[in-house]
Amino acid sequence: MGKIAVIGAGSWGTALATVLASNGHQIYLYARNRERVEEINTKRTNQRYLPGISLPPGITATSKMAVAIQDAEAVFLVVPSQSVRSVSRDVAPYLHPDALLVHAVKGFELSSRKRISTVLREELGETKAIAVLSGPSHAEEVARRLPTTVVVASDDVHVAEKAQDLLINTSFRVYVNLDPIGVEVSGALKNVIAIAAGLSDGLAFGDNAKAALITRGLAEITRLGVAMGASQATFSGLAGVGDLVVTCTSRLSRNWRAGFLLAQGKSLQQVLDELGMVAEGVKTTQVAYQLARHYNIDMPITSQLHQVLFAARSPREAVESLMSRLRRHEIELLDEITPFRRIT
């Protein structure tokens, strides 16, 4: 049971720190905010992000990156997607060459449209052992030790299994997956559909509409993911349909709440200010819209949500547009979407 660093003391980073600490590891939780560090170390709470949760004694918070990273056998990166590159550069000088790096970031880099693991390899080296953690996992429930099941994915099975060993316990079950592309794409794009689901609920469109959004949203995610080199099977698993369902149906979801607040007539900036935390689906909608055009992939829900978020289209107009699309067959063969080009 060695030292593990968790970079990012938001709700998900703190929740993962509790899982790792409960497994007997020595956890160093990095936060930039010194007041939050003091609160975690003295009161054993993180009220801003996990109110009402008592943190185990195995967690030590620090605002010094060197203290968190040096001699850590594993580093969990849990920061907003748009901060990954800069944080990676901060991590690099202190990272042990043999350390395992696990990221739990659900998004893309906006400027490059790259997956998070690609950004990490550009900053930390192609040979770095990297795994991605994803799946249906609200931080609040994980911190309360409610039963949760996720996946860790890597191109290298031994890397994924090492991450699995660090995390798994009786309340946090972890499966290994060998399709990091599919897991990353699923984790990012489900937030887009969750905003649309929140809009639907906010407009009181009912369960029928939301079920259709989830189902057709999964079809969109799968089409784009396969075009990017993912395995179709991944989207039927925990990182795909599992995470999509929980994010689209729970009021604990920031992205669902973002859509719900937008449906109340609030501006995007008002919504983001009210949430007080990052809703990854907003920027991911921009990336997904661009990637769909790049690959010539049909993603009508994503396209309409992009219009709502960034072109002042009303949600009702967007739904009317979706409902009036040309007649289609439900089952679309993936081999009709050609040519597939794999990007990293």
The domain that holds 238 is classified in CATH as 1.10.1040.10
- Is pLDDT at 341 greater than 50 in this prediction? no
Residue 91 has pLDDT above 70, yes or no: yes
Residues 139 and 194 in one domain: no
Specify whether 126 is located in the same domain as 265.
no
Query: Do 7 and 45 sit in the same domain of this protein?
Result: yes
Range of the domain at 212: 188-336
Distance CA 305, CA 302 (A): 5
What confidence tier does 126 reach under pLDDT thresholds 50, 70, 90? Answer: confident
Read off the pLDDT of residues 106-121 as tens digits, 9 standing for 90 and up.
999 999 999 999 999 9
> Where is average pLDDT lowest: 9-13, 25-29, 182-186, 268-272?
268-272
Q: Give the pLDDT band of residue 276 (cuts 50, 70, 90).
A: confident
Instruction: Please indicate, yes or no, if residue 343 is contained in any of the structural domains.
Output: no
Can you tell me the distance from the alpha carbon of 89 to that of 70, in angstroms, rounded to the nearest whole number?
15
Q: What pLDDT is recorded for position 272?
A: 87
pTM value is 0.92
Whether 344 maps to a domain, the answer reads no
- As a three-state string, the secondary structure of the chain is CCEEEEECCCHHHHHHHHHHHHCCCEEEEECCCHHHHHHHHHHCCECCCECCCCCCCCEEEECCHHHHHCCCCEEEECCCHHHHHHHHHHHHHHCCCCCEEEECCCCEECCCCEEHHHHHHHHHCCCCCEEEEECCCCHHHHHCCCCEEEEEECCCHHHHHHHHHHHCCCCEEEEEECCHHHHHHHHHHHHHHHHHHHHHHHCCCHHHHHHHHHHHHHHHHHHHHHHCCCCHHHHHCHHHHHHHHHHHHCCCCHHHHHHHHHHCCCCHHHHHHHHCCCCHHHHHHHHHHHHHHHHCCCCHHHHHHHHHHHCCCCHHHHHHHHHCCCCCCCCCCHHHCCCCCCCC
Is 270 within the bounds of a domain? yes
Give the confidence band of 99 by pLDDT, cuts at 50, 70, 90.
very high
Q: In this structure, are 166 and 269 located in the same domain?
A: no
Are both 198 and 133 inside the same structural domain?
no
Same domain, yes or no: 112 and 64:
yes
Average pLDDT over every residue of 45-60: 96
In this prediction, residue 1 carries a pLDDT of: 64
Report yes or no on 342 lying in a domain: no
Active site residues: 190
Q: How many domains does the chain contain in total? A: 2
223 and 141 housed in the same domain:
no
What value does the mean pLDDT of the chain take?
A: 92
Domain boundary among 159, 178, 197: 178
Is residue 299 situated within a structural domain?
A: yes
pLDDT band at 50 (very low <50, low <70, confident <90, very high): very high
Same domain? For 164 and 256 the reply is no
